[in-house]
């Protein structure tokens, strides 16, 4: 296989990953790293670098649409980004000190957990009845476009959310993923944001979080342009096409199948790490 | 909504941020595509080799190195410049937010946003850390 064939193949696989990732809501970047390491034998550090770049592309692209529709809470996002960016730098530094086999195991565990989270039905949390005083001071309470006009909501447990976000940022920097699932959990369960708001705000934050670790990755030589090029273009194109197909509804069967594929890859990553093949 | 007659409403800010993100990603993708085509024309027949991690050469892993490589039209430097534009897109969003919050006279959020910006610039420009 020469460079041209390899690049086209990576482009096609990344396109498929981006398409399925957007359709199922799991995100395309999260399966790029296992695909590159398991199927193409790419060193996990190059794979993580390429995946991170594609995460910035898809999240910024998607955020552009959501922000304009007024779902994202920019104040909440901005405030929590203090924690996610600091976490991301810590994670990226840790990534350089962690053996690749350990990275593979951690990656597999996080992947398994994300697949589990996304397989559950989207439950709307009980709305917060009163706001955290800190949230009031930070003017976080807002409203979003609902079926019957703007729906106002409160924000609770800001400090807990901030702590969880530091963890999400660290994982993002360590593994080159968006860790959108974890961000949504923090905003859903701790801060009690409405589901649509937490999903879109998380998406809004992923780009900035990933940019923080991308700087460290770039300086360490993890981002190979010739590998990142087909991955980024493929995932971006695939996710744009996937989002067009979507219109809000997520095909259930596809989600289950994709979830199983992801779980299988997760187990393979854990096995590969434990047996020191990665 | 604290002040009544500001022209920089949250809605307007959201609209501009949306356009900024979309245009940044599209521009970055375009540059990466151009660099990629040049790269494949020049090196498409070679053998891919990503099994052993070597790290990128210095002209591809620092902002100044990439900008120098662009001037000599290296295909990999062009791609890397596109990726740099991509990384810069969310950073540009943060820079814009600083001004937007300042125009809204929201001092708390100007400070919050400046902290985030400082962290981002530290990561990108400080060289290998840790």
Radius of gyration of chain A (CA): 18
Interval A122-170: pLDDT, tens: 665 667 777 899 999 999 989 888 888 888 999 999 999 999 999 999 9
Give how far Cα A224 sits from Cα of A5, A46, A197, Å. 17, 7, 35
Count of Cβ atoms closer than 10 Å to residue A277 Cβ: 14
Q: B77-104 burial by CB neighbour count: b if 16+ within 10 A, else e?
A: bbbbbbbbbbbbbbbbbbbbbbebbeeb
pLDDT of res. B6: 55
Residue B130 has pLDDT above 50, yes or no: no
Q: Do A215 and B87 touch (CB under 8 A)?
A: yes
Which of B10, B86, B94 lies closest to A208 in CB terms? B94
pLDDT of res. A257: 80
Rounded to whole angstroms, the Cα distance separating B91 from A2 reads 36
Q: Do A219 and B129 touch (CB under 8 A)?
A: yes
User: In the predicted model, what is the mean pLDDT of chain A?
Assistant: 87
Report the share of chain A in percent with pLDDT over 70: 94
Dihedral, B12, B16, B21, B22 alpha carbons, nearest 10? 100
Give the mutation candidate from B53, B94, B126 for the A interface (greatest A CB count, under 10 A).
B53
Taking CA–CA distances from A226, the nearest residue in chain B reads B76
pLDDT of res. A167: 94
Which of B43, B79, B91 lies closest to A211 in CB terms? B91
ipTM computed for the complex? 0.90
Higher model confidence: residue A102 or residue A25?
A102
Q: Tell me the average pLDDT across A111-132.
A: 75
Q: Which of the listed ranges A197-201, B25-29, B74-78, B120-124 does the model predict with the highest average pLDDT?
A: B25-29
Q: Do B50 and A211 touch (CB under 8 A)?
A: no
Quote the DSSP letter at residue A148.
T
Q: Tell me the average pLDDT across B110-129.
A: 88
Specify which residues A143 forms β-bridges with.
A152
Tell me how long chain A is.
Answer: 278
Q: A215-252 burial by CB neighbour count: b if 16+ within 10 A, else e?
A: bbbbbbbbbbbbbbbbbbbbbbbbbbebbeeeeeeeee
Interval A85-106: pLDDT, tens: 999 999 999 998 999 999 999 9
Q: Tell me the average pLDDT across A60-66.
A: 80
Report yes or no: A208 at the B interface, CB cutoff 8 Å. yes
Report the share of chain B in percent with pLDDT over 70: 92
A61 contact residues in B (CB cutoff 8 A): 21-22, 25
A45 contact residues in B (CB cutoff 8 A): 53
Q: Do B53 and A6 touch (CB under 8 A)?
A: no
Tell me the pLDDT band of B5, cut-offs 50, 70 and 90.
Answer: very low
Report yes or no: A71 at the B interface, CB cutoff 8 Å. no
């Amino acid at each position: 296989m020469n460079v041209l064939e390899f690049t086209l193949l990576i482009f096609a696989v990344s396109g498929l990953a981006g398409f399925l990732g957007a359709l199922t809501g799991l995100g395309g970047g999260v399966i790029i790293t296992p695909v590159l390491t398991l199927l193409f034998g790419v060193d996990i550090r190059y794979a993580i670098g390429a995946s991170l770049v594609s995460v910035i592309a898809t999240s910024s692209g998607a955020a552009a649409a959501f922000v304009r529709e007024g779902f994202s809470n920019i104040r909440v996002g901005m405030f929590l980004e203090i924690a996610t960016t600091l976490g991301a730098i810590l994670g990226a530094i840790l990534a350089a000190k962690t053996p690749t086999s350990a990275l593979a195991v951690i990656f597999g565990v996080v992947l398994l957990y994300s697949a589990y989270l996304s397989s559950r039905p989207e439950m709307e949390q009980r709305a917060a009845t009163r706001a955290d005083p800190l949230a009031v001071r930070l003017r976080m309470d807002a409203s979003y476009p609902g079926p019957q006009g703007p729906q106002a909501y409160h924000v609770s447990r800001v400090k807990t959310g901030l702590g969880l976000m530091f963890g999400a940022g660290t994982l993002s920097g360590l593994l080159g993923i968006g860790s959108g699932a974890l961000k949504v959990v923090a905003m859903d369960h701790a801060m009690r944001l409405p589901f649509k708001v937490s999903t879109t705000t998380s998406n809004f934050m992923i780009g900035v979080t990933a940019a923080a670790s991308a700087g460290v990755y770039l300086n360490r030589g993890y981002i190979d342009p010739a590998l990142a090029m087909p991955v980024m273009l493929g995932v971006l194109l695939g996710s744009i096409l996937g989002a067009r197909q979507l219109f809000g509804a997520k095909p259930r069967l596809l989600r289950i199948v994709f979830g199983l594929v992801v779980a299988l890859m997760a187990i393979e990553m854990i096995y590969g790490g434990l047996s020191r093949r990665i | 909504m604290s002040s009544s007659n500001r022209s920089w409403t949250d809605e307007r800010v959201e609209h501009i941020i949306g356009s900024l993100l979309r245009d940044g990603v599209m521009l970055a993708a375009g540059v990466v595509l151009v660099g990629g085509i040049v790269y494949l024309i020049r090196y498409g027949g070679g053998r891919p080799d990503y099994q052993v991690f070597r790290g990128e050469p210095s002209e591809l892993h620092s902002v100044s190195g990439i900008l120098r490589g662009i001037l000599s039209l290296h295909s990999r430097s062009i791609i890397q410049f596109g990726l740099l534009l991509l990384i810069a897109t969310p950073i540009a969003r943060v820079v814009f937010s600083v001004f937007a919050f300042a125009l809204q006279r929201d001092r708390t959020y100007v400070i919050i946003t400046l902290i985030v910006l400082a962290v981002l610039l530290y990561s990108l420009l400080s060289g290998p850390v840790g």
